[in-house]
Amino acid sequence: MTAQRVARGKAIFLALSACICCLLCGRTLAQEAPKPADPHVAGNPVRSVQDIMTDFEKSMQPLQSMFSPAVLTDAAKRKELAPKAIPVLKDSMKFLAELRQSSDRQAKMIADQIEPQLNLFLVVLGDDATKQKLEKQSKGTDRDEAATARGALLMSSWILADKDAEKQKQMVEDAKQLAKDNPKSDQVTQLLFAMGHLGAATPELADSVQEVAASMESESAAQMKEQIESSRKLRSLENKPLNIEGLKTDGKAFATADWKGKVILVDFWATWCGPCLAELPRVKKAYADFHDKGLEVLGVSCDREPQALQKFLADNKDMPWPQLFDPKTAGWHPLATQYGIKGIPTMFLIDKKGIVRSVTARENFEEMIPKLLEEKS
């Protein structure tokens, strides 16, 4: 399997997991990309790993535009999505089972990394059969399987708590016990770290559960410490004035200070980022609904090639808002580095007075924008 193919498979997984996606552990499957399996070698399946991954990608495509943090953390939206998503998720599991039958070690690794996330989504969406399966696995004799099952159940409970701080405080204690029981588990580390990025009732609770992840002895834990510092740096921008300056795609200077009295949605994104593209319909709709009422949108592109960005914008005429792009640091805009952004899409909301009201606006900008528009300048 080529690194590109593995990366595309990972991208679909990330698109589904929304903000879990870009922030799990800083690793990509492409770092350990397996080679294509030879179907003619004894012991290998008739179908190559590449063929299996291609079918897995196709099976998951209908869900890419459905999943977002706003959906996963909203009970009504989860209920609406469940009948459409559960059958697709369950059907996709057969490809993971097929990967496990491969003689390729890395193919099995891919299945082991993706399946817990699909199980998590199924439980969050209300699939009792998957919940019962995980509960059984969590009490089984296979230590790794039990740890992963416990982690998936804990994270699903965290999301289903619907930002109830008292319930999540107890879950932080459960997270500490899970980490203590499985100090070297990368899967547990990643799940606990992801909890802090999805549905935390308070920033303090998010920090607490992520610090548990960073305190573990797994390979991922060291990377988590850097992520936590970046997250704190990013969050420190909230409730403070911010003027975002940069060069637009035409080379002209731009500053949000010129948008006095406007509510501004800032979208850090890239055309190569699957989750970013999955969120664009939401951004486009917000612009269409609220631009005439005082909303402006600013894109900050982390694209690698200016041609890719220009072509995408030419094909999407319903994105008339300005895009910042820095050709000197193509691939990750310097503003993203400056603000501590480690994963995209990341979205800010700036109020009429130029104050950053949210650096996690991706979760609920549809709800925040009308409220900010009603405020006085």
Q: Which two tokens stand for residue 55?
A: 């079918």
Closest CA to 6 of 30, 32, 26: 30
Quick one: average pLDDT of 81-88? 94
Q: Strand pairing of 356-358 and 346-350?
A: antiparallel
- Torsion sign across C-alpha atoms 37, 42, 44, 50: positive
pLDDT band, very low/low/confident/very high, at 25 (cuts 50, 70, 90): very low
pLDDT at residue 71 in the model: 84
Query: From CA 357, how far away is CA 240, in angstroms rounded?
Result: 8
Query: From CA 238, how far away is CA 223, in angstroms rounded?
Result: 24
Of the options 3.40.50.620, 3.40.30.10, 2.160.20.60, 3.40.50.1820, the CATH number for the domain spanning 245-374: 3.40.30.10
Q: Which two tokens stand for residue 185?
A: 């588990």
What's the distance, CA 318 to chain centroid? 24
Question: Which residue type is seen at 16?
Answer: L
3-state secondary structure of 128: helix
**What's the chain's average pLDDT?**
85
Whole-Å CA distances, 374 to 204, 287, 325, 362, 365: 29, 16, 31, 20, 14
Q: What is the DSSP letter of 375?
A: S
Q: Strand pairing of 295-301 and 263-269?
A: parallel
Whole-Å CA distances, 193 to 23, 51, 71, 258, 326: 8, 32, 20, 38, 31
pLDDT at residue 16 in the model: 44
Query: From CA 33, how far away is CA 51, in angstroms rounded?
Result: 15
3-state secondary structure of 270: coil
- Give me the residue spans of the domains in the chain: 3-234, 245-374
Question: Which residue type is seen at 17?
Answer: S
Query: From CA 336, how far away is CA 81, in angstroms rounded?
Result: 32
pLDDT at residue 244 in the model: 98
Phi, psi angle pair for 321, to nearest 5°? -70, 155
Q: Which two tokens stand for residue 287?
A: 């612009």
Q: Which two tokens stand for residue 296?
A: 């402006």
What are the tens digits of pLDDT across the range 88-98? 999 999 999 99
Quick one: average pLDDT of 6-15? 39
pLDDT band, very low/low/confident/very high, at 17 (cuts 50, 70, 90): very low
Whole-Å CA distances, 352 to 285, 286, 319, 376: 20, 17, 22, 7
Percent of all residues in the chain with a pLDDT value above 90, rounded to a whole number: 62
302 vs 73: which has the higher pLDDT = 302
347 vs 202: which has the higher pLDDT = 347
pLDDT at residue 46 in the model: 59
0.75 surpassed by pTM: no
pLDDT at residue 342 in the model: 86
Closest CA to 290 of 204, 197, 365, 206: 365
* End-to-end alpha carbon distance in the chain: 55
Between the ranges 35-39, 203-207, 312-316, where is the mean pLDDT highest?
312-316
**Res. 147: pLDDT tops 90:** yes
